[in-house]
C-alpha cells in the first residue's frame, strides 16, 4: 500500500492506495471516498483479533462505541480516502514492534500488521461526560493519527506535565499518572486540572487544541438537547 497525506496541516486528508487483497482499518465515519473495487465490513476489534459483538457492546455502555470499518481491495486495486471529524492534521507513524498508547479520538486508522487493543485508562471528559480513553497500538506497519489543530512531537527525557486533552500518543515505556492538580496550579490547565504526568524517556505527541474545551465552549451556546 501507499499512503499519501494531502492538504496538511489544517484540513489533512489521507489517500491510501491499496493493492489487490490489501486491507486498511479505520474509525467509524472516516471515509471520504473510495474506489468501487473496495468492500467495507464493520467489525468490533478487541485484542487485535476479532472481538465478539458483546465486547463491542460493553464498550458502548462504558461510553465508547468501538466499531471499526475494515476496507478490503477485494475486486482489484483501489484508493481509499479518509479524514477525521475535526479540523487539523494527520500524521503517519510506522510501528516497528514497539507499543504506543494513543488517545482514542486521535486514532484514525492502520494497516492489518498493527494490533489495536483497548485499554481502559479512561476518565470522564470534563464537558461532555463522554469517556476519554486510551488505546494500545503495537506490531508492525503504518498507523495514522489525527490531531485537533497541529501535532507536535517531543522527545521526553525526565518529567513533563501535559493537559490530558492535548495528549495524542506516547511510547509505552514512559511512566504516566493521570492526576488532578488543585488550587491555583489547576488554573493553569483546562480540563479542570486533569493532567498527565509523564516520567521517563521516549516520544510524546501532543496536539495544539483540546477537543473537549472546544466542544464545551460551543456546546453550551447551542440549544439544549433532550436526554
Q: How far is the CB of 174 from other proteins (least distance, A)?
A: 28
Interface segment toward other proteins; rule CB under 8 A; list 39-47, 111-119, 155-163, 190-198: 39-47
Query: By rule CB under 8 A, what string of x and - marks binding of each residue 85-114 to other proteins?
Result: xxx---------------------------
Phi, psi of 142 (to 5 degrees): -80, 140
d(CA 91, CA 70): 20
Specify whether the CB–CB gap between 87 and 147 falls below 8 A: no
Site for other proteins in 111-140 (CB under 8 A): 127-130
Q: Tell which one of 3, 25, 69, 210 touches other proteins (CB under 8 A).
A: 69
- 11 makes contact with other proteins (CB under 8 A): yes
Gyration radius (Cα) of the chain, Å: 18
Task: Give the list of residues 6+ apart from residue 225 with CB closer than 8 angstroms, or none.
Answer: none
Burial of 136 per CB tally in 10 Å (0-12, 13-18, 19+): middle
For residue 70, which of 91, 38, 40, 96 has the smallest C-alpha distance?
40
- Nearer to other proteins by Cβ, of 87 and 154: the residue is 87
Beta bridge partners of 81: 15, 33
Q: Tell which one of 16, 25, 83, 111 touches other proteins (CB under 8 A).
A: 83
Q: How far is the CB of 18 from other proteins (least distance, A)?
A: 14
- Nearer to other proteins by Cβ, of 80 and 196: the residue is 80
Evaluate the omega torsion of the peptide bond into residue 82 and state whether it is cis, within 30 degrees of 0: no
- Nearer to other proteins by Cβ, of 100 and 151: the residue is 151
Interacting residues with other proteins (CB under 8 A): 6-7, 10-13, 27-36, 38-42, 67, 69, 81, 83, 85-87, 127-130, 211, 215-216, 218-220, 222-227
Amino acid at each position: 500500500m501507499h499512503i499519501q497525506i494531502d492538504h496538511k496541516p489544517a484540513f489533512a486528508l489521507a489517500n491510501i492506495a491499496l493493492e489487490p487483497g490489501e486491507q486498511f482499518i479505520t474509525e467509524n465515519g472516516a471515509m471520504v471516498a473510495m474506489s468501487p473495487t473496495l468492500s467495507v465490513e464493520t467489525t468490533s476489534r478487541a485484542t487485535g483479533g476479532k472481538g465478539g459483538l458483546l465486547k463491542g457492546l460493553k464498550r458502548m455502555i462504558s461510553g465508547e462505541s468501538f466499531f471499526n470499518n475494515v476496507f478490503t481491495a477485494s475486486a482489484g486495486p483501489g484508493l481509499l480516502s479518509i479524514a477525521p471529524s475535526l479540523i487539523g492534521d494527520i500524521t503517519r507513524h510506522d510501528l516497528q514492534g514497539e507499543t504506543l498508547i494513543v488517545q482514542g479520538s486521535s486514532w484514525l486508522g492502520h494497516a492489518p500488521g498493527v494490533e489495536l487493543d483497548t485499554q481502559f485508562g479512561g476518565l470522564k471528559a470534563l464537558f461532555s461526560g463522554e469517556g476519554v480513553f486510551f488505546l494500545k497500538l503495537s506490531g508492525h506497519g503504518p498507523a495514522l493519527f489525527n490531531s485537533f489543530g497541529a501535532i507536535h512531537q517531543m522527545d521526553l527525557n525526565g518529567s513533563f506535565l501535559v493537559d490530558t486533552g492535548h495528549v495524542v500518543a506516547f511510547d509505552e515505556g514512559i511512566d504516566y499518572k493521570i492526576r488532578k492538580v488543585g488550587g491555583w496550579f489547576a488554573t493553569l490547565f483546562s480540563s479542570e486540572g486533569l493532567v498527565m504526568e509523564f516520567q521517563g524517556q521516549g516520544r510524546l505527541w501532543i496536539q495544539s487544541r483540546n477537543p473537549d474545551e472546544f466542544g464545551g465552549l460551543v456546546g453550551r451556546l447551542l440549544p439544549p438537547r433532550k436526554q
